[in-house]
Structure formats: C-alpha cells, structure tokens
Amino acid sequence: MTIVRKIWNRAKDILPVSGFYFDQPLLLIQSDDWGRVGLRDHDGLEYLRSAGLTLGERPYDFYSLETADDVAALIGTLKGHRDSAGCSPCLEMNFVVGNLDFERIQAEDWRTIRVLPLVEGFPKGWERPGLTEAYRGGIADGVLYPALHGTTHFCRKAVERNMAAGGERAALLRTLWQSGTPYIHWRMPWIGYEYWDAEEAEEDRFLSCTSQSELIGHSVGAFAKFFSTLPLSACAPGYRANEDTVRAWSRHGVRVAQNGPGALVPPHLDNSGVLQVYRTIAFEPATNADFTLESCLRQVEACFALGIPAVVSIHSINFHSSLKDFRSSTLKHLDELLTLIESRHSNLLYVHDAQLWELVQNGFCRTPRGNVRVSVSSRKFTRAQVARQTAV
C-alpha cells in the first residue's frame, strides 16, 4: 500500500493539471486561527509561569486572542486602501468555531473533551467585549470574509489518548487547561492537527474518512450558527488535509480549499471539483525573524509575472496586542505593502476566495462596486515544473 502511495505521489508531480491564469494582478489575504483562544491574560501567564513553564521563548507563548480593538485597527488599515475597481482589500478570516469548555471538562474530572461553540461565547474567564460585533461589522463592510478553519485545531484522538495515559503530557494539558489555555503547539506537537494524528505511522496519520466527515459536519454546523451562512472556503488546521478532507468539505458546500505556502502553484480544480488555492507570500512579521517587506514584494511580483494570484498568508497572532503588541508593526508593514503594490499596479484587484471561485466559473465576480470582469485562461502545468520555477 505504501509503495502504491509513493508511486502515486511521484506521478502527481509529473501529471499535467489545468491551472487558471489571470490577465490582471489579483491579491488575496488569507488568515488563520480567528476565534481560537490561547493564553488568556497576564493572570493566566503568571499561573503557567508559577507552574514551571518558561514562557517567552517563542512568539506563540504570547498568542492570546484578538480583541475588538485589534479587529477595529485591522479594519481601519484595510479601509485605507483601494484597488482599481475602488474596493478595499478583504481579509479572509479562517475561523476556529469552538473552544474548549474548560469549566465543563474540569467538572467531569478531565476525562472528555468538551467544546463550547463560538456562538455561545468564549470559555469562562475569557473577556472579549465587543469582539463578535467587531467581526460582524467588518464582514458587513466587506473588508472581512469568514471561512472555515476547524473546531479544536488539535487532533482530539491524540489528546484523549494522552489524557487517558496519564504522565507528563496529561499533567501539562491539565495545567494549561486550568489556566484557560487549550495548548501551545510548539511545546507539544504530539497533539497533532484536527484531521491528522502526529504520532501514528506515516500512512495512518490522517483520520479515517468517517471521522473527518463527522468533525467537518460539526464544524460546518457551528460555523452556520455563528455566521448564518455556510462556509465557501476552508483551510485545514496545520494545512493537514487529504482527499477525504476535501470530499467532506465539498459535501457541505465548500468550493475553495486553501493550501499553505511553498510553491507558486496556479489555482486549479481537483477531482472533487474544488478549487485548490495556494498561498504564495508568507507575511508573518510576528513569527518570522527573517521577515522583510522587500522579499514579500518580490514574491508578489513573481506571482503577477506568472499570471497567478498573489495569496498572502498572515496568521491572526500578527494582529494580537493583549499580551504582546504584535499588531502595531504588522499593520504598519501591511499598510506599506499594499501602498507599494497599488502604486506599481494600476489594474490591481483585491479579491477573496468566493470571488476567485466566481472568476474561474464565470469570468467575472461580484464586488461592492458592481461586477468586475477578468480574463481567465486555463493552461497545463506540472508540479515538477512549478517547483523548478520557484527554485529559480
């Protein structure tokens, strides 16, 4: 089975696929982890420090949760920009649609994972006044667009297995949960990702088709309750998605699958009829010590030269300010990047995944300023070719 899989993976690199190319520069901004709680506040931080965690070693030790002010500041920056159609950039927020219900988990003696859906608010002890309204305001103004990330972000099976086993890992989980923090991934990568169990044998890491289908069904339900609409685009936690994930998304109406950065791959339809979109610019000033505006700009230009969309990846931590101010420098850099791109490309269009989907289907997309037509062509490419282009 493993050999067959390996041959198939090699074949996928050299089999030609029809990619979509655009005669106008398109820019998308995709952002993960919205709605997902991390370290609660300074009290939570002190609690964990007193329990022996040396926090502050990596940026994600200060990952908390956006505030209404963080979202308002982001919206302000986005509204300061316009593309050639007169529209502001729209940041696609991939939401985690539930958080751990720490209170209930503790009441049940730490035996079972319980999730509090986003529509019922944040876990006890978490204060985020006005945050839900801030999301909704940005969505109504057309500068934020909600998409699906997941529910727990970590693999439930892996966490439940480790809780049941007891020992150091279970003790760490319990300490974190007592402080209102679900996890700090880099300190415990064994928790895996929602559809991917890190410690299984390589070929068994993805959860079964049935398990993924159930999890995705629950996530889509929680998303619909919070946003009163179904998600059209989705990004798997940790970018760990396989064909079963995409098929389950597709059954629930998802039309666009987001993939992580790595190569300059054109958007293309897969076997499920889902549009696969690849991030091409890692814009992560909060977590990337080597971040420079110049290298991001070079990547944007490389995408436009190829006729593929510039797809900016920027995780929510970059906009956080409550435990550490990541927000100020991120917004400054983002403002500079957008200003430079607008000045260089008078025909620039800001789109989100639903508009990209419309473009490849119809050749035009709806915008707050009316329909915008873009010439879309289809050309064959291979992954091996794309990897070579990227290396150059």
- DSSP structural state of residue 64: -
Q: In angstroms, what is the minimal distance from the CB of 155 to Zn ion?
A: 13
Tell me the backbone φ, ψ of residue 172, rounded to 5 degrees. -65, -45
Q: Which amino acid is at 310?
A: A
Tokens of 227: 């946003």
Identify the helix (H) or strand (E) that includes residue 94: strand 91-96
Nearest to 316 by CA among 170, 204, 149, 199: 149
Q: In angstroms, what is the minimal distance from the CB of 284 to Zn ion?
A: 12
Among positions 290-319, residues that touch Zn ion (CB under 5 A) are: none
**In which residue are the tokens 């159930």 written?**
214
Return the number of the residue (33 or 92) whose C-beta is nearest Zn ion.
33
Return the number of the residue (126 or 183) whose C-beta is nearest Zn ion.
183
What mask, x for binding Zn ion by CB under 5 A, covers residues 3 to 32?
A: -----------------------------x
Nearest residue to Zn ion by CB is: 32
**In which residue are the tokens 């909704």 written?**
136
Q: In angstroms, what is the minimal distance from the CB of 47 to Zn ion?
A: 24
Q: In angstroms, what is the minimal distance from the CB of 224 to Zn ion?
A: 20
Return the number of the residue (19 or 150) whose C-beta is nearest Zn ion.
150
Return the number of the residue (70 or 358) whose C-beta is nearest Zn ion.
70
- Neighbour count for residue 182 (Cβ, 10 Å): 23
Return the number of the residue (32 or 92) whose C-beta is nearest Zn ion.
32
What mask, x for binding Zn ion by CB under 5 A, covers residues 43 to 62?
A: --------------------
- DSSP structural state of residue 366: E
Q: In angstroms, what is the minimal distance from the CB of 304 to Zn ion?
A: 27
Per CB under 5 A, does 33 bind Zn ion?
yes
Long-range contacts of 10-16 (CB under 8 A, 24+ apart): 12/383, 13/382, 13/383, 13/384, 13/387, 14/382, 14/383, 14/384, 15/382, 16/380, 16/381, 16/382
Size of the site for Zn ion (CB under 5 A): 3
Q: In angstroms, what is the minimal distance from the CB of 30 to Zn ion?
A: 11
Return the number of the residue (25 or 261) whose C-beta is nearest Zn ion.
261
Among positions 191-250, residues that touch Zn ion (CB under 5 A) are: 237
- Contact in structure between 216 and 204 (CB atoms under 8 Å): no
Return the number of the residue (237 or 266) whose C-beta is nearest Zn ion.
237
Q: In angstroms, what is the minimal distance from the CB of 151 to Zn ion?
A: 12
What HEC string does 112-172 produce? CCCEEEHHHCCCCCCCCCCHHHHHHHHHHCCCEEEEEEECCCCCHHHHHHHHHHCHHHHHH
For Zn ion, the binding residues (CB under 5 A) are: 32-33, 237
